Chains A and B, each alone.
Chain A
Amino acid sequence: MSESRAITAVEGQRPDVPEESGPLLEVKGVTKTFGHGRRRLTALDGVDIRLGRGETLGLVGESGCGKSTLARVLLGLERPDAGTVRFDGTDPFALRGKELLAWRRRVQMVFQDPFASLNARMSAADLIGEPWRTHRDVVPDAKAREKRVRELLSLVGLRASDAHRYPNEFSGGQRQRIGIARALALDPDLIVCDEPVSALDLSVQAQVLNVLSELRERLGVAYVFISHDLSVVRYISDRVTVMYLGKVIEHGATEDVFERPRHPYTGALMSAAPVLDASGASGDREIQLTGEIPSPFDIPSGCRFRTRCPRAEDLCALEAPPVVEGGSHSALCHFPLEGVAARA
């Protein structure tokens, strides 16, 4: 509490008006740990991200890399231990009361698990309209709400007649669309999408990705798009951030990162993802990783990826890796890849 006040006090020196030209979201050096002493888990370790208005940032990494914790920080659900979060120039953790409510409307979330995120006792219409119970001025009268629900349903590819059905009557994919419609209900500036299409069927996934792209163009909504599916991230994102065990290990424009990954982990992720190539060629090009992600309770010294890295040498255990930069593209590695395409 007092910590955030201190930050606000410093911020107070800056003009209070949001700078329209600045980034929508700027995260600097955010660290978040859970637990105490030996049972301290480092979920985020000095994470920087930046997101412009209407931009899409792809967040890639395996389970335990901190991407969901970062999402919770962006939503204001988790207060960072250190570092700063600026949304439109404001620190959301310093807001209270009406200001906080107004800010919450601007950042919405699409959850990963459509079975856990919908109240089984509420109809689709109630679920989608629920945010309006808190944010009363968005769609004021009942008639308009009904109409808006129908629009939102059709936006996400559901039928108007689905409005009065309950979650158990929907498939997992349809439930996820209800979750997306609900996130859209408040016309947010930023939607944090945590694996939003991984539960959807492929033919339906494409529709939802199209809906998300369309909304971005029409409304200028920005996305933080968390996904393990590289082909989806590549399609939807302007820029990509790759995380490993709580740290950003590579960042850059989507095509740069995909065409010329510098970090061996990024390279491995890309070659491990099965490619739709009916010629069946795969195997030999794979950068094979052994083992699984180490426990975040016990992060390896030096470079945290060294225990699984095919390029690791003694140095990697001793020293934290330097930032390797090339234009807007940066990576954290002692022995970066030469920037060759991991796959054709």
Chain B
Amino acid sequence: MTTTAAPSPSAAGLPDDTPALDVEGLRVDLSTPSGRVRAVDGVSFSVRRGRTLALLGESGCGKSMTALSVVGLLDPAAEVTGGAVRVRGDDTLRMTPAERRKLAGPVLSIVFQDALTALNPVQPVGRQIGEPFRIHRGLSRREAHEKAVELMTRVGIPEPRQRARSYPHQFSGGMRQRLLIAMAVALDPDVLIADEPTTALDVTVQAQIMRLLRDLQDEREMALVLITHDLAVVAQRADDVVVMYAGTVVENGPVREVFAAPRHPYTRGLLDSVPEHAVRGRPLPAVPGSPPELSAVPAGCVFQDRCPLVRERCVQERPVLRASGDGRTAACHFSEELDRV
């Protein structure tokens, strides 16, 4: 996908139009007790520094698997079987594990959804936040601790010097998420991936965390890949959106345009399902059925079972992502009909 951002400062002296992260045709297979399934099937997107790209989709659509492939943290049962993940122009999928580890932190970083399991429960948080500085920058324990306190101050932990000696369970959910974010941005990555960073949090705390992420992104010129199922978060926070369904990308483009006039029936269905648009007492226009299991993704269009526009061609032939020249693409044989509905 091409973004239409104003030129942003380049990473590592590359020309301005080089994306900070460029994923192309990513394929991930997953071994399950019932056989091998394709969890991610030809996913492509790219994002520049300073921009925010949302990977939007429901559970099992492959968005988290995509994120984990990008940072090289896939479960052993999953395997990348094709495609490229380029950062600073190099394909990380062709790197040795040691080379990839060097990228983790200074170039690519990730914030997980569940801060309690993502943090080490038996280590003071200050030591965990300082760890990247010890590993990548060779700082001493004391210097790393100072850096950790600085970062904790930056992400809004009160009394950071004392709190650095506390353990994860002694923090609230919102504070733990702040700690994870501190750790993730410690080495000023080019790309920050945030996997449902606020899903587990209360509404007022969610707003605080989203604001923190936005401020950090602005001051560090990071590219942000926001993995979420929340349409409102996408609408408010992202520049571009990649809509995923059953392991594939069904639509992508600038958020405003996609949400104003979706070109895939699934995107349309999602937007219609939001209760905010509904009239109380009237049924919500729900998408019938549920997403296919990965072991039973239909041969033709992945959305055919739930699609209001479905016809013979959709069963026969899987639609490819078609670019329409305005920075948008959609994988639907009949997307023109959606504009008219």
List residues of A whose CB falls within 8 A of some B CB.
62-63, 157, 171-174, 201-207, 209-210, 213-214, 228, 230-232, 234-236, 254, 268-269, 272-280, 282, 286, 288-290, 292-293, 308
Contacts and interface: CB of A to CB of B under 8 A. Distances in A.
Interface string B293-312: 00000000000001000000
Interface of B: 58-60, 172-175, 202-208, 210, 229-233, 235-237, 255-256, 259-260, 266, 269-278, 280-281, 283-291, 306
Given A173-B59, A274-B233, A202 B270 contact: yes
Contacts of A213: 281, 283
Nearest to A269: B203
- Cβ-closest 8 pairs across A and B: A201-B58, A206-B286, A235-B275, A274-B232, A62-B202, A206-B273, A278-B259, A272-B207
B contact patch SS:
helix
A278 B284 CA distance: 20
B236 A206 contact: no
Given A269-B204, A292-B205, 16 more contacts: A171-B60, A173-B290, A201-B291, A202-B274, A228-B202, A231-B276, A234-B280, A272-B206, A275-B276, A276-B231, A278-B255, A280-B256, A292-B174, A292-B204, A293-B202, A308-B204
Nearest to B158: A291
A210 B284 contact: yes
B58 A62 contact: no
Contacts of B58: 173, 201-204
A96 to B, nearest CB: 39
A43 B207 CA distance: 25
Contact of B59 (A171, A235, A279, A289): A171
A2 to B, nearest CB: 39
A290 B260 CA distance: 33
Nearest to B272: A206
Given A203-B270, A269-B203, A232 B290 contact: no
B90 to A, nearest CB: 33
A203 B287 contact: yes
Given A202-B274, A207-B288, A276 B235 contact: yes
Nearest to B207: A272
A206 B283 CA distance: 8
A254 B278 CA distance: 14
A162 to B, nearest CB: 10
Most B CB within 10 A of own CB, among A171, A278, A280: A278
Given A231-B275, A276-B276, A210 B283 contact: yes
A202 B229 contact: yes
Nearest to A278: B259
A336 to B, nearest CB: 19
Contact of A278 (B202, B256, B270, B276): B256
Contacts of A272: 203-204, 206-207
30 contacts: A62-B204, A201-B58, A201-B229, A202-B229, A202-B231, A206-B272, A206-B273, A207-B288, A209-B284, A213-B281, A228-B203, A231-B232, A231-B276, A234-B276, A235-B278, A269-B203, A269-B204, A272-B204, A273-B207, A274-B236, A275-B235, A275-B236, A276-B235, A276-B259, A276-B274, A278-B259, A289-B204, A292-B175, A292-B202, A292-B205
